[in-house]
Amino acid sequence: MFRYKAILILLCTCNIFVLSTDNPVTRAVLKLDEVENRPKLTLDKFLAAASEEYITSVAPEMKDIPIVIKDCLPGSILQLVNIKVKPTELIKGKPISMLAAGVLKEERDITNLHIEAYYEGNIIFKNDVDRKEHANKGPYNFSYNNDVPTFTPSGHWETYVWLIGAGDEKLACIEATFDT
C-alpha cells in the first residue's frame, strides 16, 4: 500500500512540474512567452474600447457637431464684446461651456441665468440658475456649463442663456445653435 502511495505522489509531482509555467517545454508548447508579453487589458481599458467601438460602429451619428454662438440681445445693458463656447463642436456625452464677457453700462443687481433649450422649434428644457450678486458699472462676465447627454436626438437645436437682473430685466443673451 505504501508503494502505491509513493508512486502516486511521484506521478503527481511529475505532472505538476510538467504542467508548471516554470517548465521551459510547457512554456514553449503553450506559447506562454507570447501571452505574457501582451499588454494587460484592465476593466477600464476594456470598457473604453467597448464604448469607442460602440460609438463608431453602432451609433455613427454620435460625432462632433459645429456650434454657432452669438449675442441674441445686441444693444442691451451688458454690451457683450466676447462670447465663446468650449468645445467649439458638440460632443455627445461631454460637457459644454458658454462664456460671455462684456461691459455693463450701469450697475445692476443680478438675480439669475435663465436657460431655455429648443428642439426642432419646440421648448424642451427650462432652468433658472441663481446668481444673486450686485454688479458695478464696467467689465462683467458670466458663463453656463452643462453636460450633453449621449442620447441627444438628431435634429436642430437652439439654446438661449439670458442674464437676468432685478425685476426680470434681461441684461444679456447668448444663443447657441447646432444640428445633430
Q: Which of 63-67, 105-109, 165-169 has the lowest mean pLDDT?
A: 63-67
**% of the chain at pLDDT higher than 70:** 64
Q: Which residues pair with 134 in a beta bridge?
A: 109
Distance CA 113, CA 142 (A): 9
- Please tell me the distance from the alpha carbon of residue 173 to that of residue 178, in angstroms, as a whole number: 17
Give DSSP secondary structure letters for 104-153.
ESS-EEEEEEEEEEEETTEEEEEEEEEEEEEE-SEEEEEEEEEE--TTPP
Q: What are the backbone dihedrals phi and psi of residue 88, each rounded to the nearest 5 degrees, phi first? A: -80, -10
Query: In order of start, what are the domains of the chain with their CATH numbers?
Result: 2-58 (no CATH), 65-179 (2.60.40.770)
Q: For 57-86, what is the mean pLDDT?
A: 79
pTM of the model: 0.62
